[in-house]
Structure 1
Amino acid sequence: MTVLVYVGAALAEIAGCFSFWAWLRLGKSALWLAPGMLALAAFAYLLTLVGSEAAGRAYAAYGGVYIAASIVWLWTVECVKPDRWDLTGAAVCLAGAAIILFAPRPA
């Protein structure tokens, strides 16, 4: 469940941020901002569903998922093929996120 929540949050955050990028950098209509703000609200809500006792830990682990999802966005939406350094960096970030989120902790 945690992985699905993180993936959904990442997609929502990237879509929300991209709507602002499209408006400011690509000359799209300001109407792009309304769904973007809804996507950012969905992102914030989804992160509250992560099973972690500390928000900071949930956010830190999410960072790795966000980076990997951004590389997927780069490839699928922006049609820019990631290079080996993009993929290696994303893998390292996902490993770090897994350590943060799933490490055994004292009760």
Structure 2
Amino acid sequence: MLKTTALFVFTAVAEIIGCYLPYLWLKKQAPAWVLLPAALSLAVFVWLISLHPQAAARTYAAYGGVYIGVALLWLWQVDGVPLRWSDWLGAALSLAGMMVIMWGSKT
């Protein structure tokens, strides 16, 4: 389970970087060269998501919970936006939902 969770986290980071860099280019006047690592990061995301052992739809459903948590951590650590209690609660609920999906798929 730890290996799967780590894979989800790396997948989420790759997706967030792949989307964040074009955002910087479009909204924050970052140089156009940031699109190259963005494309590479999204390619890594696609490769990582293909490594998950479950069916694709179940993987995406469970991955969503981890993505929410990682996106909020990114918001806090990279963008410097303090998280509210509702952010923490929402992340906990989404991770709980991910666990239900993952454990339920074992039966």
Deviation beyond 3 Å, 4+ runs, structure 1: none
The TM-score normalised by the length of structure 1 is 0.93
Distance 2:12 2:105 in 1: 25
Residue deviations 1:55-92 (CA, integer Å, cap 9, x gap)? 00001100010000000000110111110011110111
The CA RMSD measured in Å over matched residues stands at 1.0
Does residue 97 of structure 1 match 2:98?
yes
Residue deviations 1:1-55 (CA, integer Å, cap 9, x gap)? 1111100000000011000110111111111110011101111111111121x10
Residues paired across the two proteins, number: 105
- Residue 16 of structure 1: which of 15, 18, 35 is its match? 18
Q: CA deviation at 1:101?
A: 1.4
Unaligned runs of 5+ in 2: none
1:43 equivalent in structure 2: 45
Unaligned runs of 5+ in 1: none
Does residue 65 of structure 1 match 2:66?
yes
Letter of the structure 1 residue corresponding to residue 64 of structure 2: G
Change (3 A) 1:93 1:12: same
The TM-score normalised by the length of structure 2 is 0.93
Distance 2:92 2:46 in 1: 24
